[in-house]
Amino acid sequence: MSAENSIAPMTRGALADEIDDYDEQIAALQDSKRELYVAYRAQLKRDGYEPAAVWAQVEAFKVAHRKRRAAVKNPQAVEEHDAHVAEIYEEISPSRAVP
């Protein structure tokens, strides 16, 4: 029996209330995530990083974290993406002649 057939009919009001509850949970989780980033930034500042370096560290972390999550789902796709990025970067970057 599917989940659609195993529950009682839902009213639109009940659906809206349940979605509101989920939205509140999501907002609380997003706040917690934001607090983690604030704590990480503060740690970097205490460690002597300048504001621009703090920003760069946090942005690099976010990219690496997204990549880690994607690799869990499909490692081959991540490898292919990285290869494409490297190929395109090489194509569009000015040549770096060694003096």
* pTM to 2 decimal places: 0.73
Average pLDDT over residues 37-47: 98
With both helix axes pointing from N to C terminus, report the angle between 51-73 and 75-92 in degrees, rounded to the nearest 10.
130
pLDDT confidence bin for 11, thresholds 50/70/90: very high
Q: Which tens digit of pLDDT belongs to each residue from 20-30?
A: 999 999 999 99
